[in-house]
Structure 1
Amino acid sequence: MSYIFYLFFFMLCAGCGIKKPVYIENFQQKEILAKYSDLPDTPFLVTLQSIETVPDEHDQVQLFYTTMMPSQELADFYQQQMERCGWELLAESHAQDRLLYYTKPTQICSILISENKLTIYLCKKGA
């Protein structure tokens, strides 16, 4: 009988000692994205790959995505949606890649669209 007690006790201790994965990075990414809620949602065929920020400061952020959308469709989407969210298009480049440069009273946003990649850079003015 005592063997069963010890077996149960060791199983309980072993089960409590297993660490569950902590998704801090995923939580931080969601927190950063929520902070920039004045940006439009990404299109359906766009997948977030990574977020880069200045350590302990989220006033400058780069969002890296992969996409299967054609560049022109992606540019059209952001031109419509950024305006809807209150951003003003200041400049646009159609060189090798597509670059859209937007501003708000206190923020700057550049959107770089290249083959199968999308990069969004956000910062406060003066940062």
Structure 2
Amino acid sequence: MSTMQVEVVSNEENIFSGEASFVVVPTQTGELGIYPRHEPIMSLVRPGALRLTVPGQKEEVLVAVSGGVLEVQPTKLTVLADCAVRSAEMDQKRAEEAKKAAESGIHAAKDEKSLAAAQAALAAAIAQLKTLDYLRAHKK
């Protein structure tokens, strides 16, 4: 089985670094499935679930991304995410509360800086909720 090196990095930490045989990335134009030796591309990432098929693991590795940039090379895929969280660290109730707080923050924003911060928090919460929805829909 052919693999590619995958790096998923957020502003705070390295979320995933390793080999994958298939990756699905939520992009601005829809979900993009990437196999090793894919043609080089760059794309903007939208909030959603990034899914990795890792050799030797039965379950997909899921990462909620709130946006960022994707770079694909034939042997390497890199996602520079605005915010990213592995599915094991997510909680439905916390994500819903974070979404409500971010929406309140958007309505209460008094300047561009606080509005941008609230919008980023909203994107992160939406990404987690989408990833949790995907997990629920695909549980066996």
Asked whether the two chains share a fold, i.e. TM above 0.5, the reply is no
Query: TM-score normalised to the size of structure 1?
Result: 0.29
Query: TM-score normalised to the size of structure 2?
Result: 0.27
Task: Pick the structure with greater CA Rg.
Answer: 1
RCO higher in structure (CA 8 A, sep ≥6): 2
